[in-house]
Amino acid sequence: MGQTRRGHQGMTKNIVFTRGLIAAGLALAGTALQAQSVELTDSRPTTYDPTGIGAGGFRIYPSVQARLTYDDNIFLRDNNVVGDGLVTVTPSVVARSNWTSHSLVMSASSTVRRYFSNQDQNSEEYRATADGRLDILQSWNVGATADYGHLVEPRGTVGNDFVTGEPVRYDRYSAALRTAKSFNRIAFSGGVSADRYRYQDIKGGGIFVDQSLRDHDTLVARFRVDNRIGGSSSVFVSTSINKINYRNLKSRDSKGYTALAGIRFEVTRLLHGEAGLGYIHQSFDDPRFRGFSGLNYSANLIYEPTRLTTFRLKASRQIADSAIAGVPGVLQSRVRFEVEHELLRRLILTGYVEGTRETYRGIDRREQRYYAGAGARYYLNRNFAVTLAYDRQQQNGRGLFNNDYRGNRISLSILAQR
C-alpha cells in the first residue's frame, strides 16, 4: 500500500481538484503580477496515469471531461437568488516530446458550458499553448512559451463585477523567454514575459457595457538567484519589474516591482517546500491614485505525514485588474490550505479552504472572499474516473458597490483519458 501511495502522489498533483473545483477557488482575474514562487512538482509515476499514444518523438495525451453541476446562486448575489443546472464539457490534448535532451510541449483545450434555464450564461473557452526548452549545456538551458486563450472571467471575482448580464469574455495573448544556469552551488534564472488582454463588451441589464477600458498590455522581467546550503535546501533572492499600459484609459497605466528572499527546503521526506518574504510596490501614472506598497510573501509548503496523506499550504500577493472604471488596480492577498488522502487504492479524497482579501484603489472598497470544498475521485481503470465534488463560496465586504453573497455547487463528472 505504501508503494501505491508513492505512485498516486504524481496523479493526485494533477487531479486533486478538478477543473470545476478550481474554477471557483483559483481563478484570479485580470493582470496577475504575482509574487514569484517556484511551483513544486512531483513526477513520480502512477498506476492510473494516462499512457498516451506514440507518434514519432512525441506522445499524445487526449482527454475529455463531462460534468453535471447544480449551482444554487449562479449570479452570486444576496437578493433575488437564482439557481440553475449546467453541463460542462472539457476536451483537451497534450503532445509531449520524449527526446533525451531538449523538450517541446504543445497543448490545446476547450471548455463549453450550457445552462438548463439561463442560456444567456452559456459560454465557450479555448486555449492553445506551446512551450519549448533548449538544453545548451548540462547546466544551462533556455526556453520560450507562446499562449493564446479566449477566456471567461469567473463570476464573483474582481474581474467580473456584474451580478447580472452576460459572461465577461476576453482574449489573452502571451509570450515569454526564460533561461537558467547553474554553477556548482549557485543557480541563476530569469526571463521576460509579455501579455496582451482584449475584452469584449457585454450586455448587462438590457444595455451594452463597454469593456475596452480594460484592454491593456503587460511587460514583466524576472530574475532569481539560488544558493544551495545543503544537499536539498537553498536560500534564494528574487525580483521582478513590470510595466502596464492601457489602450484606452491611460490613467490606469502603472509600473512596479516585487522582491522576495526566502528558503527552498526539504527537512525530511515529510516536509518540503518554499517560502519567502519581501516587498511589493505598484505606482500609477495618474497622481490621483495612491499606489500599493507593503509586505510581499509567497509560500508553497507540503507536509506528508504518511504515504497516503498530503497537506499543502499556499500563500501569495498580487495586483489585479478591475472591471470598475475608477479603479486602476486591486491588491489581492491569498492563503489556501489543501488536503488529500488515499482512502482506497482507487479512491482519492480531497478538501480545501481558501481566503482572499481584496483592497481597491480609487474607491473605498474592501472585500473578503472565502472558499471551501471537498471531493472524491474514483478510478474505474487507467482510462476512466468519476468525481463527486462540493464547493462553497462566500463574500463579505464594505464600501462602494459592495456585493455580499454566498453560493453552493455540487457536481458529478466523468473523465476519459488515454
What is the share, in percent, of the chain residues with pLDDT greater than 90? 64
For residue 116, report the phi and psi dihedrals to the nearest 5 degrees. Answer: -70, -50
> What's the CA angle centered on 200, arms 198 and 206, to 5 degrees?
160
The confidence score (pLDDT) of residue 161 equals: 67
Question: How buried is residue 85: exposed, middle or buried, by Cβ count under 10 Å (0-12/13-18/19+)?
Answer: middle
Return the C-alpha cell found at 353: 479552504
Q: What is the pLDDT of residue 97?
A: 97
Please classify residue 172 by burial: count the beta carbons closer than 10 Å to its beta carbon, then call 0-12 exposed, 13-18 middle and 19+ buried: middle
Residue 4 CA, chain-centre distance (Å), reads 28
Confidence band (pLDDT; 50, 70, 90) for 139? very high
Pick the CATH number of 2-417 from 2.60.120, 3.40.50, 2.60.420, 2.40.160: 2.40.160
C-alpha cell at 28: 484570479
pLDDT digits (tens, 9 = 90+) for 83-129: 999 999 999 999 999 999 999 999 999 999 999 999 999 999 999 99
What confidence tens digit (pLDDT) does each residue in 33-44 have? 322 223 333 333
**Res 162: pLDDT:** 64
pLDDT at 274 over 50: yes
**Residue 28, pLDDT score:** 28
Would you put residue 147 in left (φ > 0), alpha (ψ -120 to 50) or beta? beta
Q: Could you report the per-residue pLDDT of 186-220, keeping only the tens digit for each?
A: 999 999 999 999 999 887 667 788 888 899 999 99
pLDDT tier, 164 (very low <50, low <70, confident <90, very high otherwise): low
Per-residue confidence (pLDDT) for residue 20, from 0 to 100: 35
Length of the chain measured in residues = 418
How far from 233 is each of 239, 274, 311, CA to CA, in Å?
A: 20, 9, 20
Q: Report the distance separating Cα 382 and Cα 373, nearest Å.
A: 25
Greater model confidence, 209 or 340: 340
DSSP string computed for 119-149: GGG-EEEEEEEEEEEEEEETTEEEEEEEEEE
- The mean predicted confidence, pLDDT, of the chain is 86
DSSP structure class, residue 83? -
- Is the pLDDT score of 321 beyond 80? yes
**Residue 394 CB neighbours (<10 A):** 16
Give the domain ranges of the chain.
2-417
Q: What is the model's pLDDT at position 37? A: 28
What are the b/e assignments for 112-151, b being 16+ CB within 10 Å? ebebeeeeebebebebebebebeeeeeeebebebebbbbb
Cα–Cα distance, 165 to 307 (Å, whole number): 47
pLDDT at 279 over 50: yes
